[in-house]
Amino acid sequence: MTIKALRDQSLPMRHIVHVRNHIISADISAEEGGSDAGPSPHDLYDAALSACKGLTVVWYAKRKNIPLENVEVTMERDDSEERHGVYRLTATLHLTGELTDAQRTELLSVAEKCPVHKLMTSVTTEITTVLG
């Protein structure tokens, strides 16, 4: 898959990201020199984890016939030590439906195993940057 990020010439820092048929605006805050015309790359990183946890929980609940009505994932970021190699994210799951305590615990366990969580914590990512 190819993802393209193209600079939007109308704003100083904003990029338009193309993922298949989807378009996402990415920018940085005004304090950082951008226009805040979209989520920052860090926001998108955190959002990917939030979405993956939510999607994984819904997928699993449907597969196991668990009466989950809705899931909301709230992500809190602590990047105060990022320059020292520590980036902390806390995901809070808000589950609704007639769920037993055992089902809630099971869904929490599933969320902790979502593919993006695994990618962020247990996979070595190799990045190559080239000129085109």
51 and 114 in a single domain? The answer is yes
- Tell whether 76 and 101 lie within a shared domain: yes
**17 and 54: one domain?**
no
CB-CB neighbours of 54 under 10 Å: 19
Query: Dihedrals φ, ψ of 42, to 5°?
Result: -65, -40
How many structural domains is the chain composed of? 2
Please indicate, yes or no, if residue 100 is contained in any of the structural domains: yes
pLDDT at 9: 86
- For residue 130, tell me if it sits in a domain: no
- Domain range for 65 is 41-122
Q: pTM of the prediction?
A: 0.91
Q: What confidence tens digit (pLDDT) does each residue in 18-65 have?
A: 999 999 999 999 999 999 999 999 999 999 999 999 999 999 999 999
51 and 69 share one domain:
yes
Separation of alpha carbons 91 and 78, rounded Å = 12
| 16 and 49 fall within a common domain | no
Segment 85-100 shows an average pLDDT of 97
